[in-house]
Amino acid sequence: MSLTAGPGHIDVLGHVNNAVWVQWMEQVAVAHWTSVAKAEHQDAYFWVVVRHEIDYLRAAVEGERLKARTWAGEKPQGARYDRHMEFIGEDGKVRVRARSWWAIIDKATGKPIRVPPQVVAPFLGEE
């Protein structure tokens, strides 16, 4: 996914604000979910963030185009599943690297459930 740092993304130091990176992480994660997950899974479940680990490696400035890459972890743990992410500048250098843990929620009950294997299979190339 491509993103461009606009004037509203920039903080007083002249680079993309840390809070913006978190917003972009959610935007990229949701886009990945909706593009890969089966429609019946999207209808039955949603995900909530339970933890972020973010390494801010290099600043990004206004007008900079970034490429966001994301991939799912190898194995869910109960209701939690991790997601990895990188934001790469036009020079090919990573600006931000992150790992997030998300919990799956059953829409019908509003409660977390164990991650069903059939939900993660498409993200692991198993379908």
Each domain of the chain, given as residue ranges in start order, spans 2-124
Strand, helix or coil for residue 68: strand
CATH: 3.40.930.10, 3.30.70.260, 3.90.226.10, 3.10.129.10. Which one for 2-124?
Answer: 3.10.129.10
pLDDT of residue 127: 61
Q: How many residues does the chain have?
A: 127
Q: What is the CA radius of gyration of the chain?
A: 16
pLDDT of residue 126: 78
Neighbours of 83 (CB within 10 A): 22
What are the average pLDDT values for consecutive 10-residue runs of the chain, which has 127 residues?
98 97 97 97 97 97 98 94 97 98 98 97 84
- The answer to whether residues 124 and 65 touch, using CB atoms and an 8 Å cutoff, is no
Straight-line distance from the first to the last Cα atom of the chain, in angstroms, rounded to the nearest whole number: 22
pLDDT of residue 114: 98
Taking the C-alpha atoms of residue 19 and residue 89, their distance in angstroms, rounded to an integer, is 18
